[in-house]
Amino acid sequence: MSEKFDVIVIGSGPAGYVAAIRAAQLGLKTACVEKWKNEEGKGVNGGTCLNVGCIPSKALLDSSYKYHEAKEDLGLHGITTSGVELNVSSMIARKNQIIKNLTGGIAGLFKSNGVTSLFGTGKLLAGKKVEVTDFDGKVTIYDAENVILASGSSPINIPPAPVDNDVVVNSTGALEFTEVPKRLGVIGAGVIGLELGSVWNRCGSKVTVLEALDSFLAIMDQQIAKETQKILTKQGLDIRTSSRVTGSKVNGKEVTVTYLDKEGKEQQETFDKLIVCVGRRPFTENLLAADSGVNLDERGFIFVNEQCETNAPGVWAIGDVVRGPMLAHKGSEEGVMVAERIAGQKSQINYDIIPNVIYTHPEVASVGKTEEQVKASGEPYNVGTFPFAASGRAMAANETQGLVKIIAHAETDRILGCHIVGPSAADLVQQVAIAMEFGSSAEDLGMMVFGHPTLSEAIHEAALAVHGHAIHVANKKKR
């Protein structure tokens, strides 16, 4: 007779491992299935995020920025440097050690919370049975009262630029370069493309970003998007919108890319490395048996309701494999919600207040509605902005690029959205997300006392500017 669990989670990325830990904390007998293997062939948890996504990319972003700062910016602080060199292998080794520490940390959390790790490939069968094929090919079937599908996502491949994992790579391969490419091409000006392009641009690559869409960061507030493009272009990224890639040809250790420009004319560019990062797709390959009872929607995502329940009783799905933005923190909170609902609690998520971040330097962050979305809805609104160039703390740190933008309803004054490009934007936007969760108005933020001198004062001033009351910048006339 097969072992039975209260909860079996398939996938141990930020959605899956959090769901497993929370379920175990609630007294549910829990197992988590993971098929990821490290270089030694041993199973490791963490999924894409910890192994080849969020964490390693941020490690390289920080290392590359420190190199750039030491080489280019410390003179402004009266610090003279010479002979600054980049050791790519050491940078990659540091990144790998961080991965090892964090994935090992999940193993420790599983042990301390009583989660059973099952390494291998998981597949949902009919009747909430889970088939696990381990690394040696042994198949075991487990019974579960509840199954949580958290299989994540994988990079989208495009026919004009097939990945060879050598000259043409996806986001995973871009984390493993052994040397700095002199000419780097990036297909896709989304979050991943801009972050990876920034890493290697700081390290010395001549980076060209080819984006098929006419506008830059089309889903973001366009005032912030335009400011971001201006900043990144000044840093050296050659961002070409309206550039649709039609083909590529690898010749030895370089690749020639053919694309159509905004006028429809064919252009060519040759690179030493090409990163293809045009988005990600939900990963459901071999995840569901034909009779599992779980349906996919028209875009290939697992169909779920607001509580992440699939149409099969007792089967849930969370994270990148379901609707909504592919964000690790969104998946983690879904994991908590589902575990608690299985345990009989009435947890829920406010999907309208999920922050989004691009970890370039400066960072770009947003929460809530863009001005374009508010305008399209017909809601009356006011806008307040504050530039970091007017922040004493930003000046002291030589981090004066960008601005904070707050949008509030013109009648109720309730905050509808906040958009930032600037230093510590990822942390600053969370302050506004908390305020929005509690239904705060722009006036509420304006009445709060913020420490001085801090970057947070930019939030305070933008909130004051909504009503034309900013102190440290000239106010625009109220709408």
CA distance 135 to 148: 22
Cβ contacts of 235 within 8 Å, gap of 6 or more: 198, 201
Q: Is the peptide bond before 387 cis (omega within 30 degrees of 0)?
A: no
296, exposed or middle or buried, with CB in 10 Å at 0-12, 13-18, 19+? middle
CA distance 292 to 151: 15
**DSSP string spanning 41-88?**
S-B--SHHHHHHSHHHHHHHHHHHHHHHIIIIIGGGGT----S----H
Helix axes 425-437, 457-465, angle to 10 degrees: 50
Residues 393/453, Cβ–Cβ less than 8 Å? yes
* Beta strands at 273-276 and 183-187: parallel, antiparallel or unpaired: parallel
Other Cβ atoms closer than 10 A to 252:
6
**DSSP string spanning 17-50?**
HHHHHHHHHTT--EEEEE--B-TTS-B--SHHHH
Residue 22's Cβ-side half-sphere holds a number of Cα atoms within 13 Å equal to 23
Residues 73/398, Cβ–Cβ less than 8 Å? yes
Tokens read off for 107: 């193993």
- How many angstroms from the chain centroid is the CA of residue 150? 16
Closest C-alpha to 185, from 238, 233, 230, 235: 238
Residue positions annotated with a catalytic role: 452
Nearest-5° Cα angle at 301, 345 to 195: 95
Cβ contacts of 177 within 8 Å, gap of 6 or more: 88, 92, 200, 273
